[in-house]
Structure formats: C-alpha cells, structure tokens
Structure 1
C-alpha cells in the first residue's frame, strides 16, 4: 500500500529531504524501502558534490545515546556495504575519498574496496587495526572450519594489498596502516616468492602490473623490507612517507655481518624517478640497520626533500665504537645522508640517540660540528640544536627545533616525542616520582586524554617485592595527590594483559587492599572519566570492599565504556567462579550510564555460573573435570541458554542507556544457534553476531 507521501514525485521528495538534518533524515526515512534509501543516497551525492561536506550531525541537543543509535544505522559495516553498493553498482557517483580506520575484515568489505579502488576512489585511508587481527587469530584457533575461512580471508586481504599497487587501482593518494600484521595474516609477505608458492592454487597468478596513478603514499609497516617490493610497482610516485613500527631491517639481518648492503632492485631512481619527497620514521637497534638505512638513502638521492625521524638505541651493540659514540655532523653525514645528493633542497631530521651523560661542553661541540662541516656549511644547514634528556638518557639532535617536554622517568612510550603534539595517550609506570608528574599534568600535557598505568606486570616482581612496589606507590598517592583533578583525561587504563587467558593471580589480602586504594585515588582524579579499562573485574570489587572511602563520590558515574577480564564460570575455586554474579549489580550502582561493555572470558559467554559448589578441596578438580564433560548435553546447553538470557535481561534492566555488549570467550559450536535463537526471541529489536570465540550484541 502506497501512502500519501510515497505518491509524491522524487523531485519533491528530494526537496523535502534536503531541508532535514542528517539525524532527522536517517532516523525517519532510512530503511523504509529501496526508493527512500536511494533518495537518501542522492542527497548525500548532491551535498558532497556541492560543498564536499559529507555527513554532518551538529545538533547541540542530540544526546550521546541518540547520536550513537543514529550512527549505528549508517556506520555498521554491513549497512555501509549496503549503502554504497547495490549488486556491485556504486551508488555514490561523487564519492572520491574514503576513510576506514577501524574495520572488520570481511569478504564483502574486501570485495567492495576492490571495486572502489579500481573504478571510483581517488583517495583511500585504510587502517587494519589490532582488534581485527586478534579476532581472526582467535577464530583460527577455534576449529578447522574457522581456520579454512580465516585462510580464505587471508588470501583475499593479501590480494587486495597487491591490487593497491597494480593496474587495477586508480588511487592518486593512499594512506595504509598494516603495522598490526601478525604471523597468521602475513600481509608483509604478499609480494614474496614464498607467498606465491604457498597459495599458488588460490590466488590470481597474473603478473602484478604497475599502478600508474598513485602520486602520494603514506604507509605504516612492521619492517622496512616491504617498501622494497612496493617501489617496483609505483613509477609515478612523488611523495613517499614510511613509518616502521619495530625495526628498519628484518630480524634476519641481525645475524648477518656485512659492510655493504646488497640491493634487491637496481636503483630506486629507475623505479620511482618522479619521487620528490621522502620521509622515514623508524627505530634502529643494530649497526646492520644503520647500513641498511644508508643503502635506502643512497637509493633516494634524487629527492628534493628528505625528512628523518630516528630513534637509535645501540646499547646492546657489540661494537663499542658505535655503542659509545655521539650523533654529530660526521655521524649524520656517514649514516643519515646519501653519499651523493643531487637535488637536495630540504633536509629535515630529528634523532633520538640512547647514550650516557652529555656535558654542556659535549653539546656545544656537537652543535659546532655542523658549523665547520663542509656539506652543512655549503647548504646553510648549520642551525642544528642538541639537547640531553638526563631522565631518559637520550641525546636529542634536530635541524628544525628542539622538543623538550618535561618527562618523568617512568614514561614507557618515549619515542612518541616525534609526534608529541598529536599524541593522545601515555603509558607510565607507577613510581615515587609520579606525584610530580600528575600535579603538573594539565599544564604539561593538555593534549593527552588517556593514561595507561602499568600495575606491576612488566616489572616482573612477585610476592613481597610486589607488595613493596604497591606500597611505595600508595604512600605517594595517599600523602601528595588526594586533591589532584585531571581536566583533560577521559580514559584510564590499568594493566596490559587483556585477553582470554588473563588470570588474576595475586590473592594476598594485603596486596588487594593496597591496590584497591591506589586505584581508588587514581580513578578519582579525572573530572569526567568516560573510558575505563581495568585488567581484572575483581579489582573493581576490591575498591568497593576495601577503599570505598578513598573513591570520590560518583567518580564512575560518567563512565560510558568499560572493559575488563572475568574469571571462568567453569574452572577454578568456588569463589572465583561466582565473581560474575556481582557484575550487573556493580555496574548498575556505580556506572548507571554505561553504554558499551567489553568482557574477556576464558570460556562461556554467560557470567553467572551454574557450576555446583565443590566443597571438597582435594577432589575439586576431579569433580570439575566430570562436570565439564556434561556441558555438551542438551540439558546443559538449555541451562546455559536460560542463564544467559537472565544475565542479558538483568543487564538491560539495570543500564537504561546500554547499547553494545562485546564478549571475547570460547564456546562449543553446538551453542551458537541456541544462543542466537534466544536473542531473536527475547531481544527482537537487537542485532547479534555470534561466533565460537566472540559474542557481539547491539541493542
């Protein structure tokens, strides 16, 4: 039946829709039928072609919950694919630029991106994030069928990366981040001969031709050797920016003793003759990598602009001459510049070098070395500045100005200094000097919104040493930091092992009390805490049990995202298997406005245990093993479906603004359909994705 509105002509409807806000249009008209979907897409194309504004939601009265509900209609990937494609026909004819920074690697995504880069897009920004790789790793471990599917996606992903540098790509600009690649996906090997040998029956064996449109490439990889393959296929390239996550050279080079680096291509000028600007950011840990760096720079000696950001640490180098040297004009000329620079106009470098104490005389000598070196004098590059950081024992040397943030001695991700103004997160150790750090935090670090505290795992301390570590941290917090209020911090992260196998091991009551008080003080500091990641849910319970008087009133009220690990409901002591029963009551009392919850479980998705209590300590494991064997029976599955339904119902009842539940666990395949059917019956307006190793539910 066609209503009055649908009887109007498309031209009239377009005029009506164009006067609505994006939130009103999407919320009211998207998914009514194919005609209205097409009209909404037309509005997007018209607006994009007119002012390049894309989708803008700017209503000041739009609540976060409503904003999320609207966005979920358009940004969840399967809907994006439906929005942009209809039977492989691209709907948005004016779409030229696409940004995907957090995406689930699915078959439909890869196929659609393949079409876009071949026929429509000019610019693509693609980040394959860590969560995607983790998800596929867990799926791979869950069974043969899952392994076959992951292997298929692996081949598709590698083929797509190859396509980006072939004639089947019309991009002019590409930003690609594959720095989270792992041993399962092996994207970095997609150009290697071993890849063709292993997957010779599954991939398109046609010769990878050149991409004749790509002008600008910004790529973030694990090791530098991947770049050698890429430059074979992008002859029009004018700008190349490379960020190396781990080390410049492959680990295999660490065992190789050489003085010259054998090239894998004849000369980069023959491959990318139009290259004008080359940027490299990398860590260097071995002298072999310095040799490799020199070889790369000699291959790009035809560029006009060279920019280097290097973090050099030769502490473990056998050659004491290199280990104990300093970075001056001679060092840079020998290792950080091409032997012959034909077209140099701009040479921009900032280098961190791990070293011993530098005196003022040493610093002056280093700066003067550029004023007497012939190359730097001839090109007027003599205004080089040097600085020594006594806390981190690093020499800073720069041609563009010095960055002197006031660090303290327990910042972990120190190398982020290169992008200091863009850094949003810091990793720090708890230590006696943390009071100076946090007291000045808002003044020194107004751009930082997230702090990750190492709670002791990375220090490898145990027993009494761990208690002393916690106690020393508490002494500082208790006496010096009770009145600290962090204005810009919205995310706190406690711990570093968020995974299924993360197990709470420190059972000492004294340790639990001290840790609870530390957490209470730190959680109370942000004025508005939005994101909270805490390694073990038990730590939150300990705050309530032992340190509630130290926790600022309503400190957790503003939390919208929470993430932690929950112990098994099947294995362990009676006490640990019952921890999950406190989950909903805690969240309802302390985080009533929570919207997203991520839980890490070693086994099943329900957090309320139905395992009987085994009171005989010596026979508990025997009884547990016997009970575990019964979990695949029809009765047991029905009981778990029932308790999971109860858990979810209680969660929704307590948290009125809740929108997304994400559980990493592990279940038997027989439970997938019973769980799915339960969700469809009792939560008909929700969307669910259930796998052996993950449960996602959107309300």
Structure 2
C-alpha cells in the first residue's frame, strides 16, 4: 500500500527534506524503501560541506540503535560525508567504547573510513584490548562478528598508540593504513621496563593484516624511547610494499635533545626509520624535521650518504633533499 507521502513527486519530497535535520532524515526515512534511500543519498552527495549531526536532543541511544546501523551497513560514501556527530548532555566513556567496538566489528560493512580520536582519553583508546590476537584460520559466523572484514582503507588520528596495536587485531583485510599522532604516546608503557624489553623483540603482524601493502605514519617524537617504539612498530609491518614516514622533533623534551643532535644521514634513517628486515618494500618516502644549525658541508655529506647506500641505490631512492629554514632553526 502506497502512503500519502510516497504519492508526491521527487521534487516536492526534496523540498520537504530541506525542513528536516540530517538525523531526522535518516531516522524517519532512511529505511522506508529504495526510492527514499536514493533521494537521501542524492542529498548527501550534493552537500559539499559534509554532514553534521548536531540536533540538541540527539542521544547516544538513538544514534547507536538507529543511525549507526544505517551508516555501518551503507556504502562508504555515506560515512565519508559525515563531518562530526554531537550527542546531547555528557557522554560517558562506556558509550565511546561501545561505539568504537561496533565500528570495528562485523556490524560494519564499510570499505573505507576516516577516524579522529585526538581528544579521547587513554581508557577509551584501550577499548579493543580484550579481543584475540588475530583472526583464526577457521571461524564461525558468531566469531566473525568481532572482526571488520570489509575494511580496506583506514586513516586514523590518535592520541595513544595502544589503539593502533589493538585495532590491527580487528581488520584482517586492511590494505592501506595511515596513522597520525600528535606524539607517539604509549600511556605509561614506555616507562615500564617489561614494555621496553618487549618492543626490542622481533615480531611481525603479517598474520594479523596479511593484505596490508601501504603504511603511512606522521608524528612528533621527543626522545630515544619513542624512536625505539617507532622502529618496533615499523618492524611489525615488514611485509608492506609502500612506507611513508613524517617525523618531527617537538623541541619540548630535554631527554630527547641528545638523539636529535645526531646527523640525520643514511645511518640515522636506517637505524630509526626503516625496517630491519626488508622483504617486499619497493617505495620509501620520509620527512624528518628538527631544529638545528647545519653547514653546507654537512648538507652535502648527508645527501651523498644516501647515494652510496645499497638499499637507496637499488630502490632508486637517492633523490634526497635537505631543506633549511632559518626561521625555524
């Protein structure tokens, strides 16, 4: 039976939609039929500024039970149009943990995702910790609900690295990963002697993300231990073919001054920013920024050090540029 609303032509329906908020459109009209879904997608696609869910009475319960399933089960196009979501009142940590657990589970059918967690607490970054280490060789349908098998591309901004470590266990078919940190923060882990010993051990995440080909990381680094952690992280991805590293000294931590006084030459890059065991790596791009004073002779020697190193010669990565900005040094 056709409702009165469905008797109107598309032009009138689109005008009616203009009087509704984004969340109202999805909540009340998002699952009616293919015609309304098509109209809704056309509205989203025509909005160049991306979508904001900021209705004053939008509760987390409504979002979790109605909006989130619509977003997770739609194409990645729908989620890419969302700029941010605001819940009414005070949202407790448990809500964020539940939301993130749903996003990185079998409930989600998205293939591409951007996620920003730069203002969330350390406890929330730990929300995926309790899951098993990687996808078993044989799984039943219930076990697969704990894994987001559809996700192929992920760009993520984080405060703490632990979320990235636990996330790897949830996305077995991931192909491209880009991670941005304001700093390589590991909570209290870097000050723990057991953790320091663990990051010095060899490990590979090939069994967890065997299809991962591209990894990019951008972060500030203050001290030697954070460089050790960076090296450990990169060695876990020793099966990738494309690596991009953007690292900069923040100039805040005194404990990091010694390592940042080192010459940033081929030896520094190989020791701190390149895989120990190179298996499939074909493309390597890096940017290292720091505050320093450097003579022209040092610059020439630094560039020549890459031209004489076997890995950079064989991979045609000898086009090294050393940029000096006197305003920042």
- After TM superposition, the score normalised by the length of structure 1 is 0.39
User: Which one of the candidate residues 74, 85, 88 is aligned to 1:120?
Assistant: 74
Q: Give the structure 1 partner of residue 64 of structure 2.
A: 110
What CA distance in whole angstroms lies between the structure 2 residues aligned with 1:247 and 1:38? 43
Contact 2:29 2:36 survives alignment (8 Å):
no
Distance in 2 between residues matched to 1:229 and 1:29, nearest whole Å: 39
Report if aligned partners of 2:111, 2:152 keep a CA contact under 8 Å in 1. Answer: yes
Matches within 5 A, 1:154-193: 154-182=93-121, 186-192=123-129
Alignment correspondent of 2:225: 288
How many angstroms apart in 1 are the aligned matches of 2:20 and 2:197? 67
Distance in 2, matches of 1:286 and 1:46, equals 52
Measure, in 2, the Cα distance between the counterparts of 1:57 and 1:373.
50
DSSP 3-state at the match of 1:162:
helix
Structure 1 pair 365–323 and aligned structure 2 pair: CA distance change class (3 A): same
Measure the CA separation in 2 of the matches of 1:76 and 1:207: 33
> What is the CA distance between 1:304 and its match in structure 2?
1.2
1:217 is aligned, of 154, 173, 176, to: 154
Q: Quote how far apart the aligned CAs of 1:219 are.
A: 0.9
1:46 to 2:38 alignment: yes
Q: What secondary structure, in the 3-state scheme, does the structure 1 residue paired with 2:290 have?
A: strand
1:17 has 2:12 as partner: yes
Structure 1 segments, 4+ long, off by >6 Å, are 39-43, 126-129
Q: 1:283-320, CA deviations, whole angstroms, 9 ceiling, x for partnerless residues? A: 11110011111111111111111111111247745577
Shift of 1:176: 0.8
* Larger RCO (CA under 8 A, 6+ residues apart): 2
Please tell me whether Structure 1 or Structure 2 has the larger radius of gyration of its CA atoms.
1
In the alignment, does 2:327 pair up with 1:373? no
Instruction: Tell me what 1:388 maps to.
Output: 324
Q: What is the deviation of 1:239?
A: 0.7
Tell me which of 40, 43, 55 is aligned to 1:77.
Answer: 55
Matches within 5 A, 1:320-331: 321-331=258-268
Change (3 A) 1:165 1:46: closer
1:377/1:105 Cα in 2 relative to 1: closer, same or farther (>3 Å)?
farther
Q: What is the CA distance between 1:174 and its match in structure 2? A: 1.5
Partner of residue 237 from structure 2, selected from 294, 300, 303:
300
Which blocks of at least 5 consecutive residues in structure 2 are unaligned? Answer: 131-142
Q: Does the residue aligned with 1:161 lie in a helix, a strand or coil? A: helix
Question: How far did residue 218 of structure 1 move?
Answer: 1.0
Partner of 1:518: none
Q: Is the 8 A contact 1:314 1:323 kept in 2?
A: no
User: Is the contact made by 1:363 and 1:386 (CA closer than 8 Å) also made in structure 2?
Assistant: yes
How many residues get paired? 305
Distance 1:29 1:270 in 2: 47
1:496 — aligned with what? none
The answer for the alignment partner of 1:312 in structure 2 is 249
Given the alignment, which residue of 246, 252, 267 partners 2:204? Answer: 267
Normalization by structure 2: what TM-score?
0.77
Q: Does 1:240 pair with 2:235?
A: no
226 and 57 in structure 1: CA distance in 2 versus 1, 3 angstrom threshold:
closer
Alpha-carbon displacement from aligned partner over 1:428-454 (angstroms, at most 9, x marks no partner): xxxxxxxxxxxxxxxxxxxxxxxxxxx
Relative to structure 1, the CA distance from residue 164 to residue 26 in structure 2 (aligned partners, 3 Å threshold; closer, same or farther) is closer
How far off is 1:247 after superposition? 2.6
In angstroms, what is the RMSD of aligned CA positions?
Answer: 3.9
- CA–CA distance in 2 between the matches of 1:236 and 1:55? 27
| Distance of 1:105 and 1:221 partners within structure 2 | 25
1:351 aligns with 2:288: yes
Distance 1:383 1:315 in 2: 31
Question: 1:652-695 CA deviation, whole Å, 9 max, x = no partner?
Answer: xxxxxxxxxxxxxxxxxxxxxxxxxxxxxxxxxxxxxxxxxxxx
Query: 1:386 Cα deviation (Å)?
Result: 0.2
Distance 1:260 1:76, change over 3 A: closer
After superposition, residues 588-599 of structure 1 pair within 5 angstroms as none
